[in-house]
Every structure is written in structure tokens, then in C-alpha cells.
Structure 1
Amino acid sequence: MTTVGFIYPDHAAEDDYPLAERMLGDGLSLPVEHIYGTDLHAVPELLDLGSPERLAEGARLLAKHEPDAVIWACTSGSFVYRPDGARTQADQLAAAAGVPASSTSFAFTEAAKALGLHRVAVAASYPDDVAKLFVEFLGAAGVEVVAMGSEDIDTAAEVGRLEPDKVVDLALRHDHRRADAVLIPDTAMRTLALVNTIEDQLGKPVLTANQVTIWHGLRLAGDSRTSQDLGALFATGTGS
């Protein structure tokens, strides 16, 4: 049994995780524990949300599940710390959890590396100033953002209420002909059931926050299982 624990902020799209558990087959547990703060997409609030104290509480909540790895399932609450700060954040979480740990921001850069992506388009739900920090984070990892769209949605709760057709439209509108893939960086957005649909329409890979978070967590736990239901990232055991 592989167990990967996820620290998830507040409530929005956490039902993507039990959905992934069903999609990925037997011998897998993806428990989610919640920490709470404001769900506002604003830099001071995001820095507070990803603080060592809050993540240590998440690690304590996950301990009963005996996870093989732990992921901070929040993109903005990790990249807002910038690359060096996000690495410190992940290292502190690993120390608190006693197992390998990371965050969704690093999941994106690792997934891009695994797929050999060099130029991407970003379809962000965040306000523009927050979205630009994600672009900066990707750039520091050697991923060029050739186009960025920001929807200026203020809270995670609003993102979690987006209908599936709106999520698909978001990805399609913010694609770019020079992009190798489209990245959708918000774990508050339900995307797992839509990844293949979006890829079929784009004709290229799509990386979404909950998708890469689960993929990265599995790899940290030494599990390289594949799926035909979760996009190009999961299709061939890339990064195993």
C-alpha cells in the first residue's frame, strides 16, 4: 500500500483526491487533511497560509495515516515564498512529517522537467500580481512562460465553484501556439476529470495543480503507477 498525505487549505476541490484514488487503482491511499486560514489570493494572506506553524499542524493531522510522503497541496501558498523560500518550506515540512515532502509549486516544475517542457502557457485563476509570482517561479526552474492569462478571481472558494465548461474554456483561451503545454495552477479548481478532455482539444499536454500534486507525491513515495485517464503526465510512467 502506498500512502501519500496531502495538506489542503480550507475547502474547494479536495474531492479531486478521492477521485484520483479511484482512477489510479488498488493499493493506494491519498488522505487529505485541512488547515485553515483566509482563502484570499493575496500575498500577505498566502504567506500566512503557508507558514511553518500551519504546515506543521497539517503534518500532525496526517500522522495517523502513516504517509510515505507528504505534499503541501497549495500552489500559491508555496510559490509566494519564491524558490529558495519554497525549498525551505518543503524541507521544514519534511522535518515535521518525518517523511519526504514537497509542494504543488515544485510538483509543477518536476512535471515540466519529466515531460521535457521548455515553453508553457499559464492559465491562472489568480489576480495578476499573484500569477506573476508563479511565472517567476517557473522561470527560475528554466521553464519559459510564453503567455499568461489571469482571471483575477479573489478567493479559492470562488474558483471551486467554477463549472467544468468554464475550466475547459479557461485552458483553451490562454493557450499559445508556441507553448509546449498549458499549466493551470490552482488546487482549488476541479480538473482531474477534465484533463483528457482539455488535452484532446488543445492537442498538447495540460498540467493542472491537483494532477501534478498527486503525481509528484506518488513519485516521492516511490510509486510510478500510470493511468490513461489523467493526461500525458500519467500516461507512460514519465518521471518514474
Structure 2
Amino acid sequence: MNSSTITHMEAQLDGGMSEQIVIGLIALSTDVVTEYELRKMLPSDGVSISATRIKTQNPLTIENLRGHAHEIAEAADLFIPRESVNVFAYGCTSGSALISQNVLEAELHRTVPGAKLTSPMTGAYKAFTQLGITKISMLTPYPDEVTEAMIDCLAQAGITVVSCGSFHIENDYEIINVTPESIIAAGEAINSADVEALFIPCTGLRTSTVIDSLEARIGKPVITAHQAMLWDALRLAGYPQPLSGFGKLFTV
């Protein structure tokens, strides 16, 4: 076949994805959970996720987590055209606790000047403020070194971890195997009368199906990594509607 036998057709063009809010997810190379979880919580009217990856190293150590910072710019630069993404989301809770929002934004702006950025911890801090929360119980999957660093970071932000539990898993690709049922049981076990909310960090945990159930059982808000990051991303992108089925946070 040569070009003389190809019929050229006239395409009708519209705005393409311009009417969609696009969240540019920067996920970890070991993460097969975040897109799955976020899409379960996405509103059905005009919000989508487009993802890329950054390399992450195991085991989970503070040094390896801080190494994510310099890769943010290169990951964001892969989205072309740049204006196609409304807000970027760096999908690592412990990384976003150890690397400040200012540093993450500075790295992002090396290749995408002025771009909006959220993360699980950025969203969580805003969620605590929105809900008036200063005392929490926290359930992590991390080794003690990382959990202790998380407690310190929260304390610096004015959040007191009154009680804490951990599944103590050193490799993040194993965290995805933690069952939702064990998250519920552990979340209930560390609840106490003097905490105002339960915080479940880590984007490797499957939490979207347990938020409402846990809130009903403990009678307090439940803030999770995916939920807080998505809530903040939608706010930054100008999506105004509340969502049902994923905790009190999405209704305020």
C-alpha cells in the first residue's frame, strides 16, 4: 500500500482533556496500590489521574526516603504539555514527612515553575487543621526508625501522637499485603479516649474500604494517606464538591 491509497479523513476536534482536572501522580517504583486506591475514591465527574514513577530503594530507611527529593523535578518533567496537569501529587507519606513541602516544591519548580503540589503529609497537615485535630492515634506499617521520625515530624507541626501502633514492615513492596481487616483491628486497638482522630499513613496500605467502618467503630475522624492527598489535590485544583463514603474529611 502506498500513500495514494490512504483516504485522508477530516477529524472533528474538541477540547480533549481540557475540561478534566488532571492529577499528575508521582508514585514510587514499588507502588502498585496508590492508583488503585485513588481511582476508587475519585469523583466521577471530570477528575482523572495520570501517573509516573520515581525510583525508590529498600529497605525503608530515612536516608533512602530523603533520596526521593531530587527525582521530583525529573518525574514532573515527563508530563507534556505541562499545562495538561492541574496539580501534582508526590505519593509517599514518610518521604513527604521527612522532606519539607518547601524543598519538594523547590525541586518541582526546577522543571515545572509555579506548579501546585500536594502529598500525603501535606494533605494530612491541612486535614488536621481543617478538623481542629491536635491529638491522634497513629497506625503505621513502618520499621521503628521511620515511625519514630514520623512522630517527631508530627510533633514539630503541633500534632501529638498519643498512641501508636506499627506492623513493622521493612520493605514497602510487602506493605501492600496487609489486609484491610487487620488495619481495622489495629486501628481499634490503639484508639483511646484522649485522641481526636486516627491517622493511617503510608500509600502502600489499602485503606479506602475501611475509612467509614473505622470512623463508625471509634467515633472519630480517620485520616489516611491516599484520602488526605486526594482531598488536598481536589481543593488545589478547584474541585468544590463533597464526596461520600470515604470519611468525614471529604464532607467538610
Give your verdict on TM over 0.5: yes
Aligned partner (choices 54, 58, 70) of residue 88 of structure 2: 70
Q: What are the superposed Cα offsets for residues 67-90 of structure 1, whole Å, 9 maximum, x if unpaired?
A: 111111101112123xxx442123
Do the aligned residues in 2 keep the contact of 1:91 with 1:101 (CA within 8 Å)? no
Read off the aligned partner of 2:245 and give its amino acid letter. Answer: D
Q: Aligned partners of 1:72 and 1:101: how far apart in 2? A: 7
Do the aligned residues in 1 keep the contact of 2:69 with 2:103 (CA within 8 Å)? no
Read off the aligned partner of 2:248 and give its amino acid letter. Answer: A
Q: Aligned partners of 2:61 and 2:81: how far apart in 1? A: 32
Q: What is aligned with 1:16?
A: 37
Offset, 1:39: 4.0
Do the aligned residues in 2 keep the contact of 1:40 with 1:46 (CA within 8 Å)? no
1:203 aligns with 2:219: yes
Q: What is aligned with 1:107?
A: 123
Q: What are the superposed Cα offsets for residues 204-229 of structure 1, whole Å, 9 maximum, x if unpaired?
A: 11000011011111111122321111
TM-score (norm 1): 0.89
Q: What are the superposed Cα offsets for residues 182-217 of structure 1, whole Å, 9 maximum, x if unpaired?
A: 000101111112211111111111000011011111
1:56 aligns with 2:73: yes
Q: What is aligned with 2:155?
A: 139
Read off the aligned partner of 1:12 and give its amino acid letter. Answer: V
1:192 aligns with 2:208: yes
Give the 5 Å matches for 1:27-176: 27-48=46-67, 50-52=68-70, 54-63=71-80, 66-81=84-99, 85-98=100-113, 99-176=115-192
TM-score (norm 2): 0.85
Do the aligned residues in 2 keep the contact of 1:5 with 1:70 (CA within 8 Å)? yes
Q: Aligned partners of 1:200 and 1:147: how far apart in 2? A: 19
CA RMSD of aligned residues (A): 1.7
Do the aligned residues in 2 keep the contact of 1:181 with 1:207 (CA within 8 Å)? yes
Unaligned stretches of 5+ residues in structure 1 = none
Offset, 1:94: 4.0
Unaligned stretches of 5+ residues in structure 2 = 1-19
Same amino acid, percent of matched pairs: 25
Q: What is aligned with 1:219?
A: 235
CA distance 1:63–1:117, shift in 2 (3 Å): farther
Read off the aligned partner of 1:93 and give its amino acid letter. Answer: L
Moved more, 89-98 or 189-198: 89-98
Paired residues, what number?
229
Q: Aligned partners of 2:94 and 2:226: how far apart in 1? A: 13
Q: Aligned partners of 1:168 and 1:80: how far apart in 2? A: 26
Q: What are the superposed Cα offsets for residues 63-122 of structure 1, whole Å, 9 maximum, x if unpaired?
A: 4571111111101112123xxx44212332244334111322111111111111111111
**Larger Rg over CA atoms:** 2
